Structure 1
Amino acid sequence: MATIRDVAKLAGVSVATVSRVLNKTGYVNQETKEKVQQAIKMLHYEPNTMAKGLASKKTETLALILPDIANPFFAELGRSVEDVAQTYGYTVVLCNSDNDADKEQKYIQIMKSRYVDGMLFASNTLRTADVVELNKSGIPLVVLDRAPANVPCLVVRSKNNEGAMLAVQHLLDTGCSKIGHLYGPQETATAKERLVGYEEAVRHFPWFSPSLMEPGHFSIRGGMEATERLLARHPDIDGIFAGNDLMALGALKKLRQMGVSVPGDVALVGFDGIDLTVMTEPEITTVAQPIYELGALATRLLIKRIEGTAIDNETYECDVSLVSRGTTGRA
């Protein structure tokens, strides 16, 4: 593999001159520039991006830190980030934190040492101190959905509260008279806002009780277990709003195992709009987020910041929409 010294030797110039041509810095006359470019072509020389980054502190690399790449929501989010980044000439490094704060801390330090140009976080464990440290280091960041409290951030998210109320209203409109809620980890703003939206929609009904809310941990297994507990306490429930689609998938599986007809006995709505919701029978009604657009918008905003555009720390909220399918399709 050719080195920058090989290029300099073939072109008959110094290493510093080759560096100026590569980095487009300083003056190099046209004849010399052409010699260097010809030598690069003949030797098939490819500059070392990392070494270049160490010198310029710019590597055209973004870090994307996700909590669980096995969740289809984050897989689609990652695809949109990568697609948009590539159109701007950036490479994305994917970091899967497994909802582990220590693992996330290691990723942050590694990415800083590798001079990534910016970071995107879709994280349950991002701390206020992390945001402050990254700001001090001059590393731009955008938070997807889950920003820490008490620190200004650029946030891109969906209207979680509004979506939850939309889900509950749909269940009411289909004739449900007692609706339970499977909720996610309350340390996340996402799960908390969806739970609050559910409460706001149902707390005025005489049948409402806090015991109608059951933790499902944003997972299929969690949704199964929560549904079983919920029906043991309230066998007369005829509607369930699951705070994400994975819990809805678990709820549907458990209801069918228990011999409960969906939607005949219990109607079901999820939240997110992942593709798996159309692979079940019946297909799952869901409140769909514009997942691809969320990732695309966050990436564009981050790159604008990296390239010097002044963007205020504010929250960009994307609309959600109800997708009615078989689990609420009562005649």
Structure 2
Amino acid sequence: MATMVDVARRAGVSVATVSHVLNETRPVRPGTRKAVLDAIDDLGYIPNTLARSLVTARTRSIGLAVSAISNPYFTEILQGVESSALERGYGLLIADPHDDPEHERKAVGLLHERRVDGVIVAPSAEPAGLLEYLARREIPAVFLDRLVGDAHDQVCAENARPVEQLVDHLAGLGHIRIGLVAGLPGLSTTTERIAGYRAELERHGLPFRPGLLAEGHSEARGAEDAVHRLLASPEPPTAIITANNVMTIGALRALRTAGLGVPDDLALVCFDDFSWADVFSPGLTAISQPSREVGATAVRLLLDRLEDPARPPRTVRLPCDFVHRTSCGCVAEAPDRPLPGTPGLPGKDPVS
């Protein structure tokens, strides 16, 4: 196996110069740098990551704590984090906190013990233990999807406005009893989506009916129970919005059990598009979140924080797309269209 001494000999430089190239600890002239990199490639030299971390106090690794196994939305975010991290020369360690506050703190602690340079976390609904752990150990951290205060860098998709667009679309089709299956209480995504739902009902002059708002707890089974409650109310909804993709599955199960068809008996639209939403019959009208962009932005925020620890925290919100299919009751026109009221991509027809 080739060593740094072999690389230095092949490149005609000192071992210290090879170290500076590998660890970026001192500027090296372009020609010298190229000679070292060519020697590394020729010899198949593999740097010792542990030794490098002793020199730089960095492991060039990022910890990611999201419930990627149980939620396909976070799987797409993971892909965005991984590709962006690898592009910048960082490895990725992953832990699943299962949206449980205690498990969350332990998961982040485990990542910290592996000496990651920083962590990216989708916080639970009760993140006090996580916040205390991060603050006490001064761990660089970025929150994604769910916002918590303003002391950390954060990135998420827009939440209120897209739900307003869903309500507006359904109200425009004549629905006056629009139900919402909301997510886990305590999450910023839940709070903001409910706020958008209520604001748009008010804008259309429709009363907010507490009986048409049901908690699905961000789970398929919870959403299934929530839809059964909505259907059993004295004035059941004629249209339902589900607040994430997992709850959409639960809602569809409940409607099937009740013998109701979509959209003939009840319109259904959802927050979170997913890769197989268009294979349903009817296709699901949905809000598509920029999942991979959320993940890539989280990496950029974390690396910026590592570069400049004193910089003010930033919160980034990314726009969503409205994917128009037929579960809302509309006649099929095209696979999708931009969010109503927003321009299409430059140089493209607004219907794609």
Whichever residue aligns with residue 189 of structure 1, its letter is S
Separation in 2, partners of 1:167, 1:15: 62
Whichever residue aligns with residue 169 of structure 1, its letter is D
Change (3 A) 1:263 1:2: same
Separation in 2, partners of 1:281, 1:249: 14
Q: Is the 8 A contact 1:61 1:92 kept in 2?
A: yes
Q: Is the 8 A contact 1:289 1:320 kept in 2?
A: yes
- Residue 140 of structure 1: CA displacement? 2.1
- Residue 327 of structure 1: CA displacement? 0.5
- Residue 171 of structure 1: CA displacement? 0.9
Matched, 1:314 2:328: no
Deviation per residue, 1:62-113 (Å, 9 max, x gap): 1111034231100000001111111111111111111122222222222222
Deviates more, 1:136-145 or 1:55-64: 136-145
Matched, 1:167 2:186: no
Number of aligned positions between the proteins? 325
Q: Which residue of 1 aligns with 2:338?
A: none
Q: Which residue of 2 aligns with 1:156?
A: 155
Q: Which residue of 1 aligns with 2:229?
A: 229
- Residue 135 of structure 1: CA displacement? 4.9
Matched, 1:196 2:191: no
Q: Is the 8 A contact 2:179 2:237 kept in 1?
A: yes
Change (3 A) 1:234 1:115: same
Separation in 2, partners of 1:324, 1:40: 52
Deviation per residue, 1:246-267 (Å, 9 max, x gap): 2123212321332212112211
TM-score (norm 1): 0.83
The answer for unaligned runs of 5 or more in structure 1 is 9-13
Deviates more, 1:202-211 or 1:180-189: 202-211
Question: Alignment partner of 1:182: what SS?
Answer: strand
Q: Which residue of 1 aligns with 2:78?
A: 78
Matches within 5 A, 1:176-195: 176-195=175-194
Whichever residue aligns with residue 75 of structure 1, its letter is T
Q: Is the 8 A contact 1:67 1:124 kept in 2?
A: no
Matched, 1:69 2:69: yes
Separation in 2, partners of 1:237, 1:4: 70
Question: Alignment partner of 1:261: what SS?
Answer: coil
- Residue 234 of structure 1: CA displacement? 4.1
Deviation per residue, 1:241-299 (Å, 9 max, x gap): 11112212321232133221211221111102222322321111112211121111121
Q: Is the 8 A contact 1:185 1:192 kept in 2?
A: no
The answer for unaligned runs of 5 or more in structure 2 is 9-13, 332-352
Separation in 1, partners of 2:118, 2:302: 7
Percent identity over paired residues: 36
- Residue 126 of structure 1: CA displacement? 6.6
Matches within 5 A, 1:214-253: 214-234=214-234, 236-253=236-253
Deviation per residue, 1:112-169 (Å, 9 max, x gap): 22221121111215735544553564432211121333x5111111221111111111
Matches within 5 A, 1:5-20: none
Matches within 5 A, 1:113-128: 113-124=113-124, 127-128=127-128
Change (3 A) 1:54 1:139: farther
Deviates more, 1:137-146 or 1:90-99: 137-146
Q: Which residue of 2 aligns with 1:293?
A: 293
Question: Alignment partner of 2:181: what SS?
Answer: strand
Separation in 1, partners of 2:278, 2:38: 55
Deviates more, 1:189-198 or 1:302-311: 302-311
Question: Alignment partner of 1:328: what SS?
Answer: coil
Deviates more, 1:71-80 or 1:169-178: 169-178
TM-score (norm 2): 0.79
Question: Alignment partner of 1:240: what SS?
Answer: strand
Q: Which residue of 2 aligns with 1:11?
A: none
Q: Which residue of 2 aligns with 1:258?
A: 258
Whichever residue aligns with residue 231 of structure 2, its letter is L
Deviates more, 1:235-244 or 1:175-184: 235-244
Separation in 1, partners of 2:310, 2:194: 35
Separation in 2, partners of 1:262, 1:189: 30
Whichever residue aligns with residue 173 of structure 2, its letter is T
Q: Which residue of 1 aligns with 2:106?
A: 106
Separation in 1, partners of 2:157, 2:88: 25
Whichever residue aligns with residue 198 of structure 2, its letter is E
Matches within 5 A, 1:88-99: 88-99=88-99
Change (3 A) 1:247 1:46: same
Q: Which residue of 1 aligns with 2:146?
A: 146
